């Protein structure tokens, strides 16, 4: 049995650690910011709009984030860190190359299915918005290509992918296909309706890439 004296306050209500409470509030603010940015665009989005959408006080948003730019940076850092950690795990995994590539495709499709506002942010505010790419953000963006290129090089060493093309060009082609497909869905406001559809999309992107890049 769990010791209730550890988990409960003196009135019997659950108490959360300050850090846990902070993370929960930040997550709510993140989601609200993504929603507002999607509806109004980054430059038209106001911190007051984000606070209202999040259901928190205006002051609380400023308590965590100095301004809209710092909130933007934190959302981007959070996205990049999670993606980098995932790609590191893919690189180190014993999975065969096709599965590794499919996992990368699935990561983006899963995110779009579960958090479409986040993918909308990535496509419209980062991938297709050069003015928003500060040097720090550009470094994170480049790292995405470096990590995926590592997977591509593994495929070349195993003679599964063509070696007459540079690994970076194959990387551009692979990520370009994923980004282009997502862009059409985002800009057309299309939804992934089922896991089956998601699998078919992932298989399609993978097959088109492998048929053009596989070693003969």
Q: What is the pLDDT of residues 101-117, one digit of tens each?
A: 999 999 999 999 999 99
CATH classification of the domain holding 38: 1.10.10.60
The average pLDDT across 184-212 equals: 94
Last residue of a domain, one of 13, 37, 65: 65
- Tell whether the model's pLDDT for residue 134 goes beyond 90: no
Q: In the predicted model, is pLDDT for residue 130 greater than 80?
A: no
Same domain, 112 and 202: yes
* Whether pLDDT at 20 is above 60: yes
User: Averaged over 77-100, what is the pLDDT?
Assistant: 95
* CATH number of the domain that residue 159 is part of: 1.10.357.10
Instruction: For residues 166 and 47, give the distance between their C-alpha atoms in angstroms, rounded to a whole number.
Output: 45
- Residues 63-91: what's their mean pLDDT? 91
**Is the pLDDT at 166 greater than 60, yes or no?**
yes
- Structural domain including 92 reads 72-216
Which range of 16-20, 25-29, 139-143, 206-210 scores highest in mean pLDDT? It is: 206-210
Q: What is the mean pLDDT of the chain?
A: 87
Residues 76 and 52 in one domain: no
Q: What pTM, to 2 d.p., does this model score?
A: 0.83
Considering 65, 81, 103, which residue would you say is the last residue of a domain?
A: 65
Same-domain status, 119 and 19:
no
Number of domains in the chain: 2
Domain match, 151 and 51 both = no
> pLDDT at residue 16 above 90?
no
Do 186 and 93 belong to one domain? yes
Residue 15 in this model has a pLDDT that exceeds 60:
no
Tell whether 58 and 120 lie within a shared domain.
no
Query: Do 177 and 134 share a structural domain?
Result: yes
Quote the pLDDT of residue 3: 44
């Amino acid at each position: 049995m769990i010791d209730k004296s550890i988990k409960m306050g003196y009135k019997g209500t659950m108490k959360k650690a300050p850090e846990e409470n902070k993370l929960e509030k930040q997550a709510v603010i993140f989601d609200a910011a993504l929603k507002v940015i999607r509806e109004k665009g980054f430059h038209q989005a106001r911190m007051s709009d984000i606070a209202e959408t999040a259901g928190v006080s205006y002051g609380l948003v400023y308590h965590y984030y100095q301004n809209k730019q710092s909130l933007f940076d934190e959302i981007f850092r959070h996205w990049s860190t999670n993606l980098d950690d995932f790609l590191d795990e893919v690189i180190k995994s014993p999975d065969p190359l096709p599965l590794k590539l499919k996992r990368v495709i699935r990561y983006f499709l899963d995110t779009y299915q579960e958090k479409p506002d986040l993918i909308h942010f990535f496509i419209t505010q980062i991938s297709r918005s050069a003015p928003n790419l500060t040097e720090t953000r550009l470094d994170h963006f480049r790292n995405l290509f470096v990590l995926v290129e590592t997977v591509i090089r593994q495929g070349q060493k195993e003679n599964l992918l063509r070696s007459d093309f540079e690994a970076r060009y194959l990387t551009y082609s692979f990520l370009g296909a994923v980004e282009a497909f997502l862009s059409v869905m985002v800009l057309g406001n299309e939804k992934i309706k089922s896991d089956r559809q998601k699998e078919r999309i992932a298989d399609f992107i993978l097959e088109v890439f492998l048929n053009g890049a596989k070693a003969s």
